[in-house]
Chains A and B, each alone.
Chain A
Amino acid sequence: MSVLSVRDLRTYFHTDDGEARAVDGVSFDLADGEILALVGESGCGKSVTSLSILGLISTPPGEIMTGSSVQFGGRELLEASEDEMCQVRGGQIAMIFQEPMTSLNPVMRVGEQISEAIRAHSDDGRASVRTRVLELLERVGISDADSRYSAYPHQLSGGMRQRVMIAMALSCKPAVLIADEPTTALDVTIQAQILELLRGLREEIGMAILFVTHDLGVVAEMADRVAVMYAGRIVEEAPVADLFQRPRHPYTEGLLRAVPDPTAPGRLMSIPGAVPSPIERTSGCRFAPRCPHVWQRCHATEPPLAADGPTAVRCWLVEEPERRQDS
C-alpha cells in the first residue's frame, strides 16, 4: 500500500525571465517502508519536488499549479491548511537536508533543538522530553549523549551534526522521511555510517524514505526503487537492480556511464550538452538535444511515461527499438 502518492505535481516559479517549470508533471508512489530514490542532475527538480510535498515552496515566486495532487494516508496535502501542515511536517513527514553544517541553529544547544522538535508535536513534560532526547542521541550513534546534549553545533563534526538532524527528524516517528542529499556534504566513511543508520532506522520505525540524491553509488546501496528525473519530469522508474542492469532511457544509460569505473580506467564518459533551462519550452522530448539516438519524432512530440510491469520509461525507443544506434 502506498503511504505517499504524488500525482501530476507541477511547481512553477514566476521569474522575471518567464515561467520556470521546475517540476512539470511528476507522479510517483511511495510504498509503506520502501526506500525510493529520486535521482537526477542538479536543477532537475528533485529538491523542489520534496519541498512541494511538505508545502515549503515560498509563494510567490513559486506556485503549485492546480491539478497537482499529493496524497498522504488518504489526505490531500496540497489542500491542507497551514495549521494542519505544521502537524504533518515533522510529525508524520520529516525531512533532512544536505548541509549539516548550516542546518542547525548556531546559537542553540543541540539538545534544546531536539527537545523543541519533540515539543512541537507533543505535550510531554520537560523531564520526559529530556530522557527521550538522550535516547534519540544514543540511537543515532552519538556517544556521550549527556555531554553532547549541551554542546553547540559548532562543537560537532559534520557527521555528528547530520546525526543530530536525523534525531530531530525521527523524534516523532514519522511515516515518511524525505532525505534531500543527506550524505553529499560528508566524507565517504561517514557517508557509509549515515546510510547504515538510516537503513537501520527504517527497519525499526517502519518508515518509508524518499531519498533524493545525484549519487548513483548511494542509490545502489540504499534504494528499493529508483525514479530518474530529467528537466522537471520523471523519465524512468524501475526497481534498483533492474535499473542498473538494464537501463532503458538513454539519459539513465548516460548517467550510469558517467560513474567512474575503477576496473576500466580511461576517460570518464559524460553526457554532451547541458540541461535545458526550465524556462524554455520545447514540444518534443526534453532529452532530445543531448540524446545519441534522436530522430524527428523525438523533436516533434514528447513520449509518454510508458509503464511495463514495475518499470516505466519515457522514450520513443520503447515503441521503435530499431532506432537505437549502437555507439
Chain B
Amino acid sequence: MKPGLKWYLSAGLLLALGVWRRARVADTVVSGDVAGWIALATLVFGVAACAALGVRARLAPPAAIGHSWWEIGLRQFKLHRSAVLGLQILLLLSLATLLTPLLSPFDPNAIDPVAGRLLTPSWIHLMGTDHLGRDVLSRVLYGGRISLSIGFLSILIAVTLGVVVGATAGYLGGWVDGLLMRIVDLFLSFPRLILLLTIVAVFPPSVFLIVAVLGLTGWMGVARLVRGQVLSLREREYIQAARALGFRSRRIMARHILPNVLTPVIVAATLGIGNAILAEAALSFLGLGVAPPTASWGNVISDGSRFMVDGWWITSFPGLAVVLTVMSFNLVGDGLRDALDPRHSA
C-alpha cells in the first residue's frame, strides 16, 4: 500500500459520513445540541488530522529512531500484536462513541410497540429491535457513549485519588502512611458490589452518582501500587542525589518520583477501565444503574433479558460490545505492561 493511503481513505470515510448525514449536521448547527457539536468537532478534526497524517506519511522521511522511554515503549508496544489490535478496536469504538449522533440510524428512544416490535436483524435494523420497537444498534451506540464515559471518568477519579493518597503515604511515611493505609484497608474490606448497591439504592440514580461511586470505590488498588513504588523509589540513589543538590520535596515528588510511578499507574488504569465498565453493566442490569430510558450497555442487556428466546439479538449485541471493549482494554493493558516495564525492555 502506498504510504499515507490509509489516512486518505479514513479522511474520505469521515467526509462521506458528513455528506451522508448532512441533514443532521444542519440540524445540529440550528439546534446547538452539545453531543451533536462534539460529533461535528470530531468529524472536522478527524478529517483534518487524517489528511495531515496522510500528507506527512507521504512527504516526510521515516523519523529517526528515538530513545526516550516513551519511544522505546511505543516500539515495544507495536511488537505486541494483540495489544495493537485491542488499541485499534478501542480507537474505533471511541470514534463511534464521539460520532454517535451522526452515525446512529434511529432515535434510540423512539418506540414503535405495534409494528416494530422484536424485529429480527435486517438491513433496516442491523441489530434488530427490542420489545418496544426501539432500534438496538442505535441503543448500543448511545449506550456505548454512556458506558465508555462512565468507565473513563470513574477511572480518572480513582487514579487521581489513588495517586494522591499513595504518593502522600509513601513519601511522608510515618503515622500519615499508617493512617492512610488503614483507610485503604477499610475501603478494601467492603464488598464493592454490595457497597455500590447500597449507595445507589439510597440516592436517586444518575450517571454522576455512578461515576462518583465507581471512582470512590476503585482507588485503593492504585493507592497501594503507588505507595509501594514511591517507597522503593524514595530510596533510589538519584532521589538522594536530587536531595543533595538542594531540590525541595515538592519538586522531587513532581519531577523525580511521580514520572517514574506513571508507567504502572497507566497499566492499572487501562485494566481498571474494563472493570469499571463491567461494574456499570452489572449495576444497570440489576436496574440500579443508569435510569431508563437512557441507554447504557447494561440497560439494553437488562431490557432484553426477558426476551432471550424471542429476541436473542437484544442481549447479544450489547453483550458483545461489552466483551469486546473489556477484552480490548485488557489486551492494551497487558501490552502496555510488557512494553513499559523496564524489566521487559532492554
A positions within 8 Å CB-CB of B: 54, 56, 85-91, 94-99, 102-109, 116-117, 120-121, 151-152, 155, 165, 168-169
Write out the residue numbers on chain A whose beta carbons fall within 8 Å of the beta carbon of B237.
Answer: 97-99, 102-103
Write out the residue numbers on chain A whose beta carbons fall within 8 Å of the beta carbon of B246.
Answer: 85-91, 120-121
Q: Could you tell me if A95 and B244 are in contact, using CB atoms closer than 8 angstroms? A: yes
Q: A102-B238, A103-B238 are in contact. List 7 more A-B contacts (CB 8 A).
A: A98-B237, A106-B260, A120-B245, A120-B247, A121-B246, A152-B67, A155-B67
Spot the interface stretch: B94-102, B119-127, B221-229, B248-256: B248-256
Known: A99-B237, A151-B67, A155-B67. A105 touches B248 (CB 8 A): no
Q: Which of B237, B238, B245, B259: most chain A CB closer than 10 A?
A: B245
Q: Could you tell me if B68 and A117 are in contact, using CB atoms closer than 8 angstroms? A: no
Is B182 in contact with chain A by the CB < 8 A criterion? no
A117 to B246, CA, bound (A): 8
Which B residues, 239 to 287, have Cβ-Cβ distances below 8 Å to chain A?
Answer: 240-248, 251, 255-256, 259-260
Q: Could you tell me if B247 and A97 are in contact, using CB atoms closer than 8 angstroms? A: no
In the complex, which of the residues A98, A99, A102, A169 contacts B245, with contact meaning CB atoms closer than 8 Å?
A: A169
Q: Could you tell me if B245 and A105 are in contact, using CB atoms closer than 8 angstroms? A: no
A86 to B68, CA, bound (A): 30
Write out the residue numbers on chain A whose beta carbons fall within 8 Å of the beta carbon of B238.
Answer: 102-106
Write out the residue numbers on chain A whose beta carbons fall within 8 Å of the beta carbon of B245.
Answer: 89-90, 94, 117, 120, 168-169
Write out the residue numbers on chain B whose beta carbons fall within 8 Å of the beta carbon of A103.
Answer: 237-238, 240-241
Nearest CB of chain A from residue B237's CB, rounded to whole Å = 4
Write out the residue numbers on chain B whose beta carbons fall within 8 Å of the beta carbon of A168.
Answer: 241, 245
Return the chain A residue nearest B243 by Cβ: A56
Question: Interface range on chain B: under 10, 10 to 19, 20 to 34, or 35 or more?
Answer: 20 to 34
In the complex, which of the residues B68, B241, B251, B260 contacts A97, with contact meaning CB atoms closer than 8 Å?
A: B241
Is B69 in contact with chain A by the CB < 8 A criterion? yes
The 0/1 profile, CB within 8 Å of A marked 1, for residues 225-237 of chain B is 0000000000011
Return the chain A residue nearest B263 by Cβ: A107
Known: A105-B256, A107-B260, A120-B251. A54 touches B69 (CB 8 A): no
Return the chain B residue nearest A180 by Cβ: B244
Write out the residue numbers on chain B whose beta carbons fall within 8 Å of the beta carbon of A90.
Answer: 244-247
A117 to B242, CA, bound (A): 8
A152 to B259, CA, bound (A): 14
In the complex, which of the residues A56, A91, A107, A108 contacts B240, with contact meaning CB atoms closer than 8 Å?
A: A56
Write out the residue numbers on chain A whose beta carbons fall within 8 Å of the beta carbon of B242.
Answer: 105
Which B residues, 144 to 159, have Cβ-Cβ distances below 8 Å to chain A?
Answer: none
Nearest CB of chain B from residue A225's CB, rounded to whole Å = 23
Nearest CB of chain A from residue B115's CB, rounded to whole Å = 62
Write out the residue numbers on chain A whose beta carbons fall within 8 Å of the beta carbon of B67.
Answer: 151-152, 155
Q: Could you tell me if B255 and A116 are in contact, using CB atoms closer than 8 angstroms? A: yes
Write out the residue numbers on chain A whose beta carbons fall within 8 Å of the beta carbon of B69.
Answer: 106-107, 152
Q: Can you identify 30 A-B contacts, CB atoms within 8 angstroms?
A: A54-B244, A56-B240, A86-B247, A86-B248, A87-B246, A89-B243, A89-B245, A90-B247, A94-B245, A95-B244, A97-B237, A97-B240, A97-B241, A102-B237, A102-B238, A103-B238, A103-B241, A106-B69, A106-B238, A107-B69, A107-B259, A108-B255, A109-B68, A116-B247, A120-B248, A120-B251, A152-B68, A155-B67, A168-B241, A169-B245
Q: Which of A96, A104, A105: most chain B CB closer than 10 A?
A: A105
Q: Could you tell me if A104 and B260 are in contact, using CB atoms closer than 8 angstroms? A: no
Nearest CB of chain A from residue B8's CB, rounded to whole Å = 34
Write out the residue numbers on chain B whose beta carbons fall within 8 Å of the beta carbon of A94.
Answer: 244-245
A56 to B255, CA, bound (A): 19
A120 to B255, CA, bound (A): 12
Write out the residue numbers on chain A whose beta carbons fall within 8 Å of the beta carbon of B247.
Answer: 86, 90, 116, 120
A43 to B251, CA, bound (A): 31
Q: Could you tell me if B241 and A104 are in contact, using CB atoms closer than 8 angstroms? A: yes
Write out the residue numbers on chain A whose beta carbons fall within 8 Å of the beta carbon of B251.
Answer: 120
Q: Which of B237, B248, B256: most chain A CB closer than 10 A?
A: B237
A155 to B255, CA, bound (A): 20
Write out the residue numbers on chain A whose beta carbons fall within 8 Å of the beta carbon of B256.
Answer: 105, 108
A120 to B242, CA, bound (A): 10
Which 3 pairs show the lowest CB-CB distances between chains A and B? A90-B246, A90-B245, A89-B246
Write out the residue numbers on chain A whose beta carbons fall within 8 Å of the beta carbon of B244.
Answer: 54, 56, 89-90, 94-95, 97
Q: Which of A88, A109, A152: most chain B CB closer than 10 A?
A: A152
Write out the residue numbers on chain A whose beta carbons fall within 8 Å of the beta carbon of B255.
Answer: 105, 108, 116
Nearest CB of chain A from residue B68's CB, rounded to whole Å = 6
Which B residues, 297 to 346, have Cβ-Cβ distances below 8 Å to chain A?
Answer: 342
Nearest CB of chain A from residue B326's CB, rounded to whole Å = 30
Write out the residue numbers on chain B whose beta carbons fall within 8 Å of the beta carbon of A106.
Answer: 69, 238, 260, 342
Nearest CB of chain B from residue A112's CB, rounded to whole Å = 9
Write out the residue numbers on chain A whose beta carbons fall within 8 Å of the beta carbon of B259.
Answer: 105, 107-108
A257 to B78, CA, bound (A): 58
A98 to B244, CA, bound (A): 13
In the complex, which of the residues B236, B248, B260, B342 contacts A102, with contact meaning CB atoms closer than 8 Å?
A: B236
Write out the residue numbers on chain B whose beta carbons fall within 8 Å of the beta carbon of A87.
Answer: 246
A116 to B241, CA, bound (A): 12
Return the chain B residue nearest A178 by Cβ: B244
Write out the residue numbers on chain B whose beta carbons fall within 8 Å of the beta carbon of A86.
Answer: 246-248
Write out the residue numbers on chain B whose beta carbons fall within 8 Å of the beta carbon of A89.
Answer: 243-246
Return the chain B residue nearest A153 by Cβ: B238
A96 to B237, CA, bound (A): 10
Nearest CB of chain A from residue B55's CB, rounded to whole Å = 27
Q: Could you tell me if A105 and B240 are in contact, using CB atoms closer than 8 angstroms? A: no
The 0/1 profile, CB within 8 Å of A marked 1, for residues 31-71 of chain B is 00000000000000000000000000000000000011100
A104 to B241, CA, bound (A): 8
A151 to B236, CA, bound (A): 21
A152 to B345, CA, bound (A): 15
Q: Which of A98, A99, A107, A168: most chain B CB closer than 10 A?
A: A107
